[in-house]
Chain A
Amino acid sequence: MSDVLSAPLVVEFPFTRSLGPVQSAFLTGLRERTVLGVRTDDGTVLVPPVEYDPVTANELRDLVEVAPTGTVTTWAWNPSPRRDQPLDTPFAWVLVRLDGASTALLHALDAPGPESVRTGMRVRVRWAAARTGAITDIACFEPYEGAAAGGEPAPHTGEFADPVTGIVAPARLDYTHTPGRAQSAYLAALEGRRTVGERCPACRKVYVPPRGACPTCGVATAEQVEVGPRGTVTTFCIVNIKAKNLDIEVPYVYAHIALDGADLALHGRIAGIPYDQVRMGLRVEPVWVDGVRHPDHYRPTGEPDADYDTYKELV
């Protein structure tokens, strides 16, 4: 259907993650070009180190230092890197068992092409130029000719000057949001400054905004019904605290408004009357401004207040 709306939705936040002792030591170590693992009760050395043994669930704190060189245990060639991946030129995803480790770490391998990658190949860490204490302090792995260093990994206190205790993990996901048929029709009517709901074919209730389905009957709604423009304030609050994303001077009134002909209230701001004179039962009408899809606010119509009994079922 061509009249279905669509718009980008960006879900993005810089998450602040505290690390706990083991992850703090590991990521601080990366900043200092040191790779740490953790030893389990049976002597397995887990790299990257985790706080809890995946087999026994025991708490792990016995840190060791392993080599920045290792062996590829499996790989996958990525011909078209995606946003935020470690390299922006074609690379191999690899699991690498570092020398001294029993388990493998996932990262990227910079290699000229898939022909030059194989399971069992030797690689070493390529450190990022600027390191902050994050998994990306390993810029990637690169091919390395040297043999595996022998010997047991040495114990490590995990102590470093100025340890990293948290990371900021920005994450952005891009979506294309489509609100569906019912909401699209509602929004299209708003363009003409009309409020159009939908009536349930079973219970005959009029839903504004329409939800596509009657939530009590579980059937699709389709019959369009224009409601309002006038309505009744069923309840409200006075907002005295400025919300981060809103450019409205406080105090103002945020109200539930039952438009005439609708069977439930929608939400809007009340203006054109001192905030402390707004009351339940106040009769209001929408005020539209150019270039804004939804009513900017509702103002009193001057009609007498609605009697409580006429709208109490809508509160």
Chain B
Amino acid sequence: MRDVAIVAFAQSAHRRRTDELSEVDLLMPVLHEVLGATGLRANEIGFTCSGSADYLAGRAFSFTMALDGVGAHPPISESHVEMDGAWALYEAWVKIMTGEADTALVYSYGKSSPGRVRDVLTRQLDPYYLAPLWPDSVALAALQAQALIDAGDTDEPALARIAARNRAAAVDNPYAQLTGDVPAGDHLVRPLRTGDCPPVGDGAAAVILAAGDTARALCARPAWIRGIDHRIEAHALGVRDLTDSPSTRLAAERAGAFERPVDTAEVHAPFTSQEVVLRKALRLGDEVRVNPSGGALAANPVMAAGLIRLGEAAARVHRGESDRALAHATSGPCLQQNLVAVLEGESAHA
């Protein structure tokens, strides 16, 4: 097994709208920042992989336009997943594990502002039985939240405390979109209130991966990927136990998350109720700092928010604020698909 680390992370300021910015305008400064942090130039990168979804902004092949920001000439070894950038990172990690590349640039971006993301995400659902009913993403999350309440796993005040804790933490995150004292608000779809839901906005993120001594040369304290795994569940909500996330638990097991305690976790829970599910599946106790960045409740650029969890966790390791951190990303309705990575700083092994 090669040792692979996240050696740099950058993200845009996340904002409700970015009308003056095309996708490449949004992305390019982030690419420059992450390359600048390592001193690498684009043509020195061994592999490039991105994550995005055409449906968000309503344009086919939007990733081909984003490629303009990379400077892909001479031609580069490059791939793209129609998934959150966390899975692009996974593909890049695999590429490095083959030995064919020593470094990788991973990026993702999401502009939710052109569309109505609640409606857009209905197009992810079973096209025969579900999509024709247009059940929006908040409605599906609310069904899950009610199941948790019925099971005695949470209640509305507890959900409000999760929202408050995340957004209080986000005050220290200069990139966050929604921070500080945010009212719980009215029910958007009961039992979820506006405060339980993520802000809708635009943003981009990028990380650089490197192997072994290259990583040590590029970063004072690389965030070593000790394990990374992802799993998917059945699609239909009616065949799943919505109060649990077996795919998260399995991915965490495979990533070695339960072998030793983590001190920090960045979990991708766009809705407060999903943090309840994830804490249970990941066995995160009160001693673990969960979402010191404010999480997706503070900034949720769809298709980038998962990669940002990996980046935020890595950045804490880089800064010496964490020795062993867990990062999680999700995709699909009600946490259908989940990725877990365990990141460590070098001293943790000394």
Contacts and interface: CB of A to CB of B under 8 A. Distances in A.
A183 B118 CA distance: 28
Contact of A82 (B68, B119, B237): B119
A135 B132 contact: yes
B141 to A, nearest CB: 8
A114 B191 CA distance: 10
B2 interface: no
A247 to B, nearest CB: 24
Chain A interface category by residue count: 35 or more
B80 to A, nearest CB: 16
Given A75-B143, A106-B238, A119-B146, A169 B127 contact: yes
A212 B26 CA distance: 10
Contacts of B130: 106, 135
Nearest to A74: B147
A151 B90 CA distance: 48
Nearest to A3: B20
Contacts of B189: 76-79, 93
Contact of B20 (A23, A48, A73, A178): A178
A181 B131 contact: no
A23 B128 CA distance: 8
Interface in A66-116: 73-79, 82-86, 93-95, 97, 103-108, 114
Interface string B62-92: 0001011111110000000000000000000
Contacts, number: 189
A48 B238 CA distance: 9
B19 interface: yes
A1 B20 contact: yes
Main secondary structure of the interface of A (DSSP, over half): mixed
A221 to B, nearest CB: 10
B132 A173 contact: no
Interface string B108-125: 000001111011100100
Nearest to B31: A218
B28 A218 contact: yes
A55 B237 CA distance: 14
A4 interface: yes
B23 to A, nearest CB: 8
Nearest to B113: A176
A103 B55 CA distance: 30
Interface stretch (A11-19, A231-239, A256-264, A303-311): A11-19
A135 B128 contact: yes
Contacts of B42: 218
A6 B236 contact: no
B337 to A, nearest CB: 14
A19 B16 CA distance: 39
A293 interface: no
A220 interface: yes
Given A4-B20, A46-B239, A108-B133, A76 B58 contact: no
Contact of B72 (A135, A175, A182, A215): A215
A78 B139 contact: yes
A106 B135 contact: yes
Contacts of A84: 134
A232 B150 CA distance: 71
B172 interface: no
Contact of A76 (B118, B129, B139): B139
Contacts of A218: 28, 31-32, 42, 68-72
A264 to B, nearest CB: 13
B200 to A, nearest CB: 13
B136 interface: yes
Given A48-B129, A119-B146, A114 B69 contact: no
A82 B136 contact: yes
B76 to A, nearest CB: 10
B143 A95 contact: yes
Contact of B237 (A15, A104, A119): A104
B135 A85 contact: yes
Contacts of B131: 169, 171
A167 interface: yes
Contacts of B197: none
Nearest to A118: B150
B236 A54 contact: yes
A136 B58 contact: no
Contacts of A155: none
Given A6-B19, A212-B22, A83 B236 contact: no
A215 to B, nearest CB: 4
Contacts of A176: 113-115
A64 to B, nearest CB: 16
Interface string A46-65: 11101000110000000000
B327 interface: no
B114 A178 contact: yes
B142 interface: yes
A3 B22 CA distance: 14
Contacts of A184: 20
Contacts of B143: 74-76, 93-95, 106
A9 interface: yes
A174 interface: yes
A108 B133 CA distance: 9
Contacts of B136: 82, 85
A217 to B, nearest CB: 5
11 contacts: A47-B238, A74-B144, A77-B187, A84-B134, A135-B130, A173-B116, A176-B113, A177-B58, A181-B22, A215-B72, A216-B73
The 5 closest A-B pairs by CB, nearest first: A218-B71, A180-B22, A76-B142, A104-B238, A54-B234
Given A50-B236, A93-B189, 16 more contacts: A74-B242, A75-B146, A76-B192, A79-B190, A83-B119, A84-B134, A104-B237, A106-B237, A119-B150, A167-B132, A181-B20, A183-B22, A213-B24, A215-B72, A218-B32, A218-B68
Interface of A: 1, 4, 6, 9, 11, 15, 17, 19, 23, 27, 46-48, 50, 54-55, 73-79, 82-86, 93-95, 97, 103-108, 114, 119, 134-136, 167, 169, 171, 173-184, 211-220
